[in-house]
Amino acid sequence: MAPAKKRNVSSVKTAEKSAKKAKVDLSKTVERILESRKHANDVFDILESLQAEQEKEVISAVAACSELFCALLERKELFLGKLPGEEDALSGGYSAEDKYRIFMRHRYTSCVEILLEHLSHEQYDIKESAMCCLMKFAAGEGLHPLEDLDWSEHYSFPRELIQALVDNLLSKATDNSLLISRFQEFLEMEDVRYYVMSSIRDNVGKVMDKSKGAVVPVYQNNVFTLMSSISMPNQESELTNFMVKQEAKHEDWKAAKLHEHKRVFERMWLGFLKYKLPNSMYKKVLVILHDSILPYMSKPTLMIDFLTAAYEIGGAISLLALNGLFVLIHQHNLDYPDFYKKLYNLLEPSVFHVKYRARFFHLANVFLSSSHLPVYLVAAFAKRLARLALTAPPTALLIVLPFIYNLIRRHPSCRVLIHKPSAEDEPFEDPYLTDEEDPAQCRALESSLWEIKSLQKHYHPDVAKAALLINTPLSEQEDDISETLEVTTYELMEKDLKQPEIKSVPLEFETATRLLKGGGDVLGQHFCLA
């Protein structure tokens, strides 16, 4: 085994030496090309190294390409305008100067194509270096445009290069989450963010239409990762960090307008969400929707179709959709038919065990806080929760019981659920219809909250204590349920396992001194009074 180990070490050293030599050679090659045009053909050596198998050699070649072509862009030694074919350049009446620029422009195009292919490379370091090099080229093209663009709308921003980069980032086969997180640094620049959003919208339309709306999990995950990395500005005065500095007509540039950013942002998200998503993707979108998407849309009400579809899926997805619906109903006057009926049907045993339980009860508390709700609706919610409480875990019961009490406090007419005139000894058949989906037809007002009475014998002392409160008149002050929303089973057990400190029990405010010692006068007075 020893000789084999030596051979491995020597091969590693040889590879490192060759990589260092290649780096030195490529640096010298770049110097030769920039010093004299007679070495122009040496650029093929760099492009060849760019397609090598060894990782270090490729990264060295990327650095060499970055140095070479950024310098050529700055010197304006790449052909400007529509690029003719190389054969046409040789046969046409071009000067030696133009022929050199056409030649180098073709090499630059080849370099960009290879770098775009490297965005799908197996080695992450190669992908990262290729992406950073392409962004340097984008900055260089912005300062020194290679073609005449639509100056009235886009100025000299390299839209096509950014579009090609985004198309390759949004791979259909490879998870590019790590590379996209690295790309987030460039999204801090206003113009880059604007054109990336536009590129995402175009790419999603092409890819999803080609797949005929079928779910493409890896691709859609890449799209969501890139879109969720975008942080939108709040005010137009914040639009100050641009990759391409415009000297004139800056006020007409769309990338410098906040309302244009919002318009593209809105179209990007709507274009993505109109297609069917994986169930896990619905959750990811809905978690950030109310904070990171709706506030930056020009017309948030356009999200109603997506939220309605998500709300009808059921389970945790429906719970999360409540956040977005809450924003649209309360801030944008959305009229949502049968909202309370659907909210009522979300109350099922699984609601106590989902990850988003706290968020659901917080929003349900807000929706049921209005004093204008009909009494039958409030009674239906109180009865449904009481029935679910029979099988709920203690952590959920510590939320549900105060929740029910608050509903009764807000709507005194619901006290009929507590005070039923029927005799306790009579056999009782609950008229409440558990399987009825319409709260108006479930006959909750004809029933009572006997379930809470049953919980007074619960094995957990905190639950039993909370259930006993229904025996006494409820105070007008509502219970604050926010403190119990996030309580976990582990925290509840830790609280119970802690041994309380043994303290002396106070028996009387003033210590007795004369009952047994010298208390004859007291006894005598007692008998005299008798």
201 vs 487, residue with greater confidence: 201
Among 311, 399, 415, smallest CA distance to 361 is for 399
> How much is the pLDDT for 511?
63
- Write down the H helix ranges in 230-314: 258-273, 279-288, 304-311
**Helix (H), strand (E), coil (C) string for 393-462:** CHHHHHHHHHHHHHHHHHCHHHHHHCCCCCCCCCCCCCCCCCCCCCCCCCCHHHCCCHHHHHHHHCCCHH
* Residue 382: partners with Cβ closer than 8 Å, 6 or more residues away: 404, 407, 408, 414, 417, 444, 449
The span from the CA of 390 to the CA of 396, in Å, is 11
* Other Cβ atoms within 10 Å of 470 Cβ, number: 20
Say whether pLDDT at 58 is over 70.
Answer: yes
Task: Yes or no: say if 432 and 452 are a contact pair by the CB < 8 Å rule.
Answer: no
**Which pLDDT score is estimated for 473?**
84
The residues, ordered by sequence, that sit 6+ positions from 301 with a Cβ below 8 Å of its Cβ are 328, 332, 334
- What token pair was written down for 330? 């309360």
Give the confidence band of 522 by pLDDT, cuts at 50, 70, 90. very low
The answer to whether 206 and 219 are in contact (CB under 8 A) is no
- Tell me the two tokens of residue 59: 């990264």
| CA gap 57, 122 in Å, rounded | 15
Q: What are phi and psi of 26, to 5 degrees?
A: -65, -40
Whether pLDDT at 528 is above 50: no
pLDDT digits (tens, 9 = 90+) for 7-47: 343 444 444 545 555 556 888 999 999 999 898 999 999 99
> Has residue 518 got a pLDDT over 90?
no
For residue 404, give the nearest of 366, 431, 378 by alpha carbon: 378
In 3D, which of 474, 477, 452 has the Cα closest to residue 465? 452
At residue 529, the pLDDT reads: 42
Compute the distance between CA of residue 377 and CA of residue 382 in angstroms, rounded to an integer. Answer: 9
pLDDT value at residue 128: 95
- Exposed (0-12), middle (13-18) or buried (19+): which is 456, by Cβ within 10 Å? middle
pLDDT at 291: 86
Q: What is the pLDDT of residue 327?
A: 83
CB within 8 A of 485, min separation 6: which ones? 357, 358, 361, 362, 399
Which has the minimum average pLDDT: 108-112, 282-286, 516-520? Answer: 516-520
Question: 214 in helix, strand or coil?
Answer: coil
- pLDDT tens, position by position, 184-243: 999 999 999 999 999 999 999 999 989 887 889 999 999 999 999 999 988 888 888 888
Of the ranges 138-147, 339-348, 409-418, 425-434, which one carries the lowest mean pLDDT score? Answer: 425-434
Mean pLDDT of 285-311: 88
pLDDT of residue 2: 42
Q: 317-372: per-residue pLDDT in tens?
A: 888 888 888 888 888 887 777 788 888 988 988 888 877 788 888 888 888 888 78
Provide the pLDDT confidence category of residue 311 given band limits of 50, 70 and 90. confident
Task: Describe the crossing of helices 96-118 and 43-50 by its angle, rounded to 10 degrees.
Answer: 10
Long-range contacts of 203-208 (CB under 8 A, 24+ apart): 203/163, 203/166, 203/167, 203/170, 204/170, 204/268, 204/271, 204/272, 204/275, 205/271, 207/170, 207/172, 208/275
Q: What is the mean pLDDT of residues 481-495?
A: 65
83 DSSP 8-state letter: P
Strand ranges in 276-411 using DSSP code E only, listed in sequence order: none
How many angstroms separate the first and last alpha carbons of the chain?
110
Q: Identify the helix (H) or strand (E) that includes residue 57.
A: helix 55-75
Band (pLDDT 50/70/90 cuts) for residue 490 is low
Q: What is the pLDDT of residues 113-135, one digit of tens each?
A: 999 999 999 999 999 999 999 99
Please give the Cα distance from 393 to 389 (Å, whole number).
8
Note the pLDDT of residue 335.
76
Mean pLDDT confidence for 260-272: 93
Is residue 170 over pLDDT 70? yes
Mean pLDDT of 170-183: 94
CB environment 392-420: b (16+ within 10 A), e (fewer): bebbbbbbbbbbbbbbbbebeebebbbee
- Per-residue pLDDT of 495-509, as tens digits, reads 666 656 656 666 666
